[in-house]
Amino acid sequence: MTVSSLNRRRFLSAIGAVGGFAVTSLAAPFVARGTGSRPIFTSGVQSGDVDQNSAVVWTRVDRPSRIAIEYSTRESFSSPVRLPAVDVGPQTDFALKALLPDLPADQTIFYRFVATDLQDINAVSAAVSGELRTAPVEKRGVRFGWSGDTAGQGWGIDDEGMRTYSTIAAHRPDFFIHSGDTIYADNPIPDEIALRGGGVWKNRVVTDEKREVARTLDEFRGQWKYNLLDRNVRDFNAVCPVFYQWDDHEVLNNWSPSTELDHDPRYLGLSVSELAARSARAFHEMTPIRHIAAEPGRVFRKLSYGPLLDVFFVDLRSYRGPNTSGLDRTLSDRSRIFGARQLAWLKRELARSDATWKVIACDMPVGLTIWDDYGRKLGSESIANGDDGHPLGRELEFADLLRFIRDAGIGNIVWLTADVHYTAAHYYDPAKAVFKEFLPFWEFVSGPLHSGTYAPQVLDKTFGPEVRFVKAAPGGVEQNLPPSAGLQFFGLVDIDPQSEQMTVRLMDRNDNRLWSVTLDPMVIG
């Protein structure tokens, strides 16, 4: 079955029906339990999509409640700003997502929630709180992090928990980009995993939803609730805004709108459009992603973080054609990965940007050859098609973007990505490329945050990539090293307000700096 453009529009409309207000259920065991007479916040707080004057905040309770929201520039909450209270119920699985408007720029904002039981107005919760920093108007130093891949390949919450999150939090970034595979809806979490060479990994926390692949809306919601049971994740979310995008495992490994599920007994009677719509609704309910009124449910978007930085989030899942051989010689809907409308948006917004640095947060690396079927190499899952030649298939769309960037004279574009479960720095040089009509650029890869670690993939030579650094698991893709092996990775980016230089560091979960580079801003024209 091929999903038509009409079905794609229905899918996007369905996920937008939630309107940006959230969902969840599962009273988390970390909460100190009392008599049960007061509402309990089950999953901590989150903030995200912060700009100069607004931010999105999120929380969730264990029952129908009226949630009061207030914020202040003082941690004491003296003279707070109070927003209208919001009722939450089972239609959003008791989760709340709200926009904090009219914030002062370049300020630390403290926010908190208090819940009142809708069936007993005398039952009032303890407060739960978090903090964020709004984007600056003037030039100031900016620090942010990025990575991807949380709770994949069966590696769940052990005694240490998802410790990479705590390592990142210690750097106090202004925000963090989660580059996709935010959950693993198709990877059940077992109680134990036998380790190569002896020993056992014990998942100390396993929920009913995580013992099976996600099929229903509640099961997709349960994937998010599982990650939020980890204290490292909750503590991180309380102090660092997270800017989310998605990739494949939010739905199903290597999915596209054309994926057929008839061969997979786990999904009998379901279409990929049904799975994707349920996944996307949970994704928008359970994260502080900004609601786009003109197109509810959209993931691609731009966030401006002051005069030094614009971040462009792209979605390489929702609009792609099927994962074929990738050798189409003409550009069509079948061979696209951005989709015509998203590509037009990206070109337009890049051309409009007057920020010094333009970061494209991409859910997949550009030049790595990733096969839909590793054993038989039946089709390209990525942009690259593995033939090292002139652009074909999805490479045609990417070549068009690179040519546009060159012709428009748009400098200082850096690509950040995850997906492949190791860390690397790639430099794309037209002098070494088959397709030469572009400006040189860097791509930095990081991850996993808390998943299996794999060996490096092969780079396709079409766009002239060169590996400047890589750290990964040894051997073949079957390695799947656990988080306890220490090969969990994240990146840190610092932009200096005086020189406007960007410094990128590739880090591991033990906070070792593995590699770094400082980039000078280019002047074009």
Contacts of range 482-487, beta carbons closer than 8 Å, 24 or more positions apart:
482/155, 482/193, 482/195, 482/201, 482/452, 483/155, 483/158, 483/160, 483/162, 483/163, 483/164, 483/448, 483/450, 483/451, 483/509, 484/158, 484/160, 484/201, 485/453, 486/510, 487/422, 487/453
From CA 35, how far away is CA 433, in angstroms rounded? 67
Rg (C-alpha) for the chain, rounded Å, is 22
Chain position carrying tokens 């007061």: 38
pLDDT of amino acid 267: 96
Does the residue 285 lie in any domain? yes
Q: Which residues contact 274 (CB under 8 A, 6 or more apart)?
A: none
Does the residue 42 lie in any domain? no
Does the residue 125 lie in any domain? no
Extract the tokens encoding 431: 């002098």
At position 37, the amino acid (one-letter code) is S
Extract the tokens encoding 506: 């590739």
Extract the tokens encoding 103: 């914030």
The predicted-structure confidence for 57-109, as pLDDT tens digits, reads as follows 999 999 999 999 999 999 999 999 999 999 999 999 999 999 999 999 999 99
From CA 159, how far away is CA 162, in angstroms rounded? 9
pLDDT of amino acid 379: 73
pLDDT of amino acid 214: 98
pLDDT of amino acid 91: 94
Does the residue 94 lie in any domain? no
pLDDT of amino acid 478: 60
**Residue (of 112, 110, 10, 14) closest to 58 by Cα position:** 112
Give me the sign of the Cα torsion angle 130, 136, 137, 138: positive
- Residues (pLDDT < 70) of the chain are 1-36, 325, 373-378, 476-478, 524-525
From CA 89, how far away is CA 64, in angstroms rounded? 4
The helix/strand/coil state of 157 is strand
From CA 293, how far away is CA 274, in angstroms rounded? 23
Does the residue 116 lie in any domain? no
Domain count, the chain: 1
Does the residue 339 lie in any domain? yes
Contact 359, 416 (CB under 8 A): yes
pLDDT of amino acid 376: 54
Does the residue 368 lie in any domain? yes
Extract the tokens encoding 29: 């065991």
Residue 213 structural domain: 135-519
For 139-166, letters b (16+ CB in 10 Å) and e give: eeebebbbbbbbbbbbbbbbeebbbbbb
Phi-psi category of 486—alpha, beta or left, where left has phi over 0 and alpha has psi -120 to 50? left
At position 525, the amino acid (one-letter code) is G
Does the residue 69 lie in any domain? no
pLDDT of amino acid 372: 81
Q: How far apart are the first and last CA of the chain?
A: 49
**Residue (of 260, 261, 247) closest to 185 by Cα position:** 247
DSSP for 49-79 reads: ---SS-EEEEEEESSSEEEEEEEESSTT--S
| CATH number of the domain to which 173 belongs | 3.60.21.70
